[in-house]
């Protein structure tokens, strides 16, 4: 019998302030209650912060599109991510953001994304080698895929941005540091909202978080520094990666290039935004496919028909994968990697029946909207056929919307389809018996206890 895909059970009623603090320190999903999934707007009042949660799609459009200037990215989120991302496009606002977006745009145009197809495929081939090694080692064929998805997506970012393959040692340092940074960030955010003094925050883990941020920046800095120096001396090799375009780009207003710190900020951000989200989406897609055998078989058959005798997918194959694409999109609905978008109100305003004071936090949470009781039919069920004709387009936003929409959407879709095709064409997947993922909401929606899936080689392989 098919189990429903797992979701943390919401509380019957709203928790007290103290309970909210205790529950959300681990994962913000732990503090949700039943009404969170059916309300239009909600309010969470904390000692140092007034927060409004907006689920109503018309109001969401107002915040993200029609009145976007009145709802800039949250200062709290900016401060939270600053130790790792500095002044990067993900959290800046207004003119600074506009300029950064303009400078990054050429790197993410579709023609450029097609150019990185081969680099993504090379990372997927290396993933298969690692999977084979593990299958040979484990008698039962069970693999923890979350770690594998995190490694392969970080590897894709290394190859496409810096023309470097991620080696296992460097991978371990950077990815372990990132787990610490994520875990501690939720705690730091809660402490800030509850007005903890800085010394107490440092004692409770803030120092550990800052150190983890520095570890990641040091690994990236060691790669970027020599290339920055070569570029300044006019000795740079002719490379075709995203770093090369960042090194060359000139600000049309000031005629200046990015400084070293500015480049490090943008690369750190691309590393975070580019691997963490895609890793989360792939882990959840594999989870759902291994839980729903029929959907997996349908995706496998389609893939085999399209590939014919080819062993590896090419760009023209990937574009034809309709069912796998629907499965991926449905996974993004049930487990949107970016589970919430944090904004703040620039002036006093009204959101439905709520008076929102200037400076209040405003949150749009795809995690809630994608599972909203009054918007979706069987909201918690995995049903890829929804995407044959999506009726609730304005309530589906895994990549955000409006001018702050994800710049890497095309990149991520191509990468995910390549990696899933490599895996599905070679292996049949089954979830480990009785395994239940512990879904946690940190910076992204991840599993706290890994994802254990049995890999069986397909007969034709
Ligand atoms: C499945 C994978 C991905 C998902 C679900 C995703 C989701 C998102 C979302 C929801 C936002 C907007 C957040 C907000 O409005 O607060 C965003 C922004 C962004 N994403 Fe992605 N993303 C993914 C992959 C990528 C990749 C692969 C890259 C780059 C290599 C990337 C780069 C960015 C950047 C630079 C921004 C900031 C854009 C701006 O503010 O102008 N993302 N992403």
User: Could you read off the pLDDT of 126-155 as tens digits, one per residue?
Assistant: 999 999 999 988 889 999 999 999 999 999
Q: Phi and psi of 234, rounded to 5°?
A: 75, 20
Task: Give the Å distance between the CA of 90 and the centre of ligand 1.
Answer: 8
Alpha carbon distances (Å) from 90 to 5, 241, 253, 274: 30, 20, 22, 11
So what's the pLDDT on residue 429? 98
Q: Phi and psi of 250, rounded to 5°?
A: -120, 130
Pick 245 or 376 by higher pLDDT: 376
* Distance from C-alpha of 196 to C-alpha of 271, rounded to nearest angstrom: 30
* Distance from C-alpha of 189 to C-alpha of 196, rounded to nearest angstrom: 10
Ligand 1 atom index nearest CA of 100: 41
Q: How many CB atoms lie within 10 A of CB 228?
A: 20
Name the residue with the closest Cα to ligand 1, atom 42.
408
Name the residue with the closest Cα to ligand 1, atom 39.
404
Instruction: Show Cβ contacts of residue 148 under 8 Å, excluding neighbours closer than 6 positions.
Output: 127, 130, 131
Q: Mean of the pLDDT values across residues 177-203?
A: 71
* Distance from C-alpha of 398 to C-alpha of 330, rounded to nearest angstrom: 10
30 CB burial (10 A radius; 0-12, 13-18, 19+): buried
From 42-56, 161-175, 283-297, 384-398, the region with the lowest mean pLDDT: 42-56
Name the residue with the closest Cα to ligand 1, atom 21.
406
From 179-183, 286-290, 364-368, 390-394, the region with the lowest mean pLDDT: 179-183
pLDDT digits (tens, 9 = 90+) for 207-230: 888 999 999 999 999 999 999 999
Q: How many CB atoms lie within 10 A of CB 355?
A: 11
Give the bridge partners for 332, in sequence order.
none
Q: Whose CA is closest to 322, among 341, 302, 349? A: 302
From 5-9, 360-364, 428-432, 443-447, the region with the lowest mean pLDDT: 5-9
Ligand 1 atom index nearest CA of 64: 15
* Distance from C-alpha of 13 to C-alpha of 19, rounded to nearest angstrom: 12
DSSP string, 251-268: -TTT--BPPHHHHHHHHH
Secondary structure letter of residue 36 according to DSSP: G
* Distance from C-alpha of 58 to C-alpha of 32, rounded to nearest angstrom: 22
Name the residue with the closest Cα to ligand 1, atom 23.
277
* Distance from C-alpha of 170 to C-alpha of 309, rounded to nearest angstrom: 37
So what's the pLDDT on residue 21? 52
Q: What's the whole-number average pLDDT of the chain?
A: 89
Mutation pick for ligand 1 pocket among 68, 73, 274, 406 (CB with most ligand atoms within 8 Å): 406
Q: How many CB atoms lie within 10 A of CB 368?
A: 23
Domain boundaries, the chain: 17-457
Contact between residue 159 and residue 127 where contact means Cβ atoms under 8 Å apart: no
* 50 has pLDDT over 70: yes
* Distance from C-alpha of 7 to C-alpha of 1, rounded to nearest angstrom: 18
Q: Are strands 49-54 and 439-441 parallel, antiparallel or unpaired?
A: unpaired
So what's the pLDDT on residue 19? 56
Superfamily of domain 17-457: Cytochrome P450 (1.10.630.10)
Contact between residue 175 and residue 154 where contact means Cβ atoms under 8 Å apart: yes
Q: Report which secondary-structure segment, H or E, holds 362.
A: strand 361-364
* 156 has pLDDT over 90: yes
Name the residue with the closest Cα to ligand 1, atom 31.
408
Q: Whose CA is closest to 423, among 446, 451, 457, 452? A: 457
DSSP string, 53-117: EE--HHHHHIIIIITGGGSPBPHHHHHHHHHHHSS-TTT--HHHHHHHHHHHGGGGSHHHHHHTH
* Distance from C-alpha of 259 to C-alpha of 263, rounded to nearest angstrom: 6
Task: Give the Å distance between the CA of 13 and the centre of ligand 1.
Answer: 33
Give the bridge partners for 50, in sequence order.
45
Q: Mean of the pLDDT values across residues 249-265?
A: 86
Question: Which single residue is written with the structure tokens 């749009």?
Answer: 364
So what's the pLDDT on residue 24? 57
Ligand 1 is surrounded, with C-beta below 6 A, by: 89-90, 101, 270, 273-274, 277-278, 281, 337-338, 341, 398-400, 404, 406-408, 411-412
Q: Phi and psi of 389, rounded to 5°?
A: -150, 90
- The first and second tokens of residue 331, run together, are 């996974």
Pick 342 or 193 by higher pLDDT: 342
Name the residue with the closest Cα to ligand 1, atom 19.
406
- The first and second tokens of residue 62, run together, are 């107002």
So what's the pLDDT on residue 202? 64
User: How large a percentage of the chain has pLDDT more than 90?
Assistant: 65
* 2 has pLDDT over 60: no
So what's the pLDDT on residue 198? 66
Pick 107 or 202 by higher pLDDT: 107
* 461 has pLDDT over 90: no
Mutation pick for ligand 1 pocket among 97, 277, 281, 414 (CB with most ligand atoms within 8 Å): 277
Q: Mean of the pLDDT values across residues 229-238?
A: 86
* 192 has pLDDT over 90: no
Task: Give the Å distance between the CA of 252 and the centre of ligand 1.
Answer: 25
Q: Are strands 142-144 and 49-54 parallel, antiparallel or unpaired?
A: unpaired
So what's the pLDDT on residue 1? 46
Secondary structure letter of residue 241 according to DSSP: S
pLDDT digits (tens, 9 = 90+) for 432-446: 999 999 999 888 999
Pick 17 or 453 by higher pLDDT: 453
Mutation pick for ligand 1 pocket among 150, 273, 282 (CB with most ligand atoms within 8 Å): 273
So what's the pLDDT on residue 18? 54
* Distance from C-alpha of 125 to C-alpha of 123, rounded to nearest angstrom: 5
Q: Mean of the pLDDT values across residues 172-196?
A: 77
Contact between residue 120 and residue 160 where contact means Cβ atoms under 8 Å apart: yes
Name the residue with the closest Cα to ligand 1, atom 30.
274
Pick 126 or 32 by higher pLDDT: 126
Question: Which single residue is written with the structure tokens 């049930």?
Answer: 334
């Amino acid at each position: 019998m098919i189990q429903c895909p797992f979701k943390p059970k919401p509380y019957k009623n709203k928790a007290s302030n103290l309970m909210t603090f205790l529950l959300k320190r681990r994962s913000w999903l732990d503090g949700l209650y039943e009404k969170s999934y059916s309300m239009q707007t909600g309010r969470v009042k904390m000692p140092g912060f007034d927060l409004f949660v907006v689920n109503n799609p018309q109001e969401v459009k107002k915040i993200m599109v029609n009145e976007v200037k009145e709802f800039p990215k949250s200062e709290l989120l900016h401060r939270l991510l600053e130790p790792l991302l500095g002044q990067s496009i993900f959290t800046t606002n207004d003119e600074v953001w506009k300029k950064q977006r303009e400078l990054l745009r050429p790197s993410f145009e579709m023609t450029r994304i097609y150019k990185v197809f081969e680099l993504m495929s090379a990372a997927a081939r290396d993933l298969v080698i690692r999977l084979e090694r593990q299958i040979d080692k484990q008698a039962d064929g069970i693999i923890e895929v979350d770690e594998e998805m995190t490694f392969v997506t970080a590897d894709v970012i290394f190859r496409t941005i810096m023309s470097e393959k991620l080696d296992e040692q460097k991978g371990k340092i950077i990815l372990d540091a990132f787990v610490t940074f994520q875990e501690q960030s939720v705690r730091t955010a809660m402490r800030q909202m509850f007005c903890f003094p800085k010394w107490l925050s440092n004692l409770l883990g803030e120092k550990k978080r800052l150190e983890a941020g520095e570890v990641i920046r040091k690994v990236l800095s060691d790669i970027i520094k020599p290339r920055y120096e070569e570029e300044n001396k006019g000795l740079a090799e002719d490379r075709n990666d995203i770093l090369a375009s960042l090194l060359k780009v000139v600000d049309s207003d000031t005629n200046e290039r990015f400084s070293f710190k500015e480049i490090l900020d943008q690369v750190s951000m691309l590393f975070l935004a580019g691997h963490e989200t895609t890793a989360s989406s792939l882990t959840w897609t594999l989870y759902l496919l291994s839980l729903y055998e029929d959907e997996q078989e349908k995706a496998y058959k389609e893939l085999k028909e399209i590939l014919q005798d080819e062993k590896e997918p090419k760009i023209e194959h990937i574009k034809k994968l309709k069912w796998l694409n629907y499965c991926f999109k449905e996974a993004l609905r049930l487990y949107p990697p970016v589970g919430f978008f944090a904004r703040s109100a620039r002036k006093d305003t009204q959101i439905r029946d709520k008076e929102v004071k200037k400076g209040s936090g405003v949150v749009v949470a795809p995690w809630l909207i994608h599972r909203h009781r009054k918007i979706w039919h069987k909201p918690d069920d995995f049903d890829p056929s929804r995407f044959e004709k999506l009726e609730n387009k304005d309530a589906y936003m895994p990549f955000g919307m409006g001018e702050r929409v994800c710049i890497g959407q095309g990149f991520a879709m191509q990468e995910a389809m390549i990696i899933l095709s490599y895996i599905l064409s070679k292996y049949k997947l089954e979830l480990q018996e009785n395994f239940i993922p512990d879904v946690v909401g940190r910076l992204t929606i991840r599993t706290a206890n890994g994802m254990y899936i049995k890999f069986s080689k397909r007969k034709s392989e």
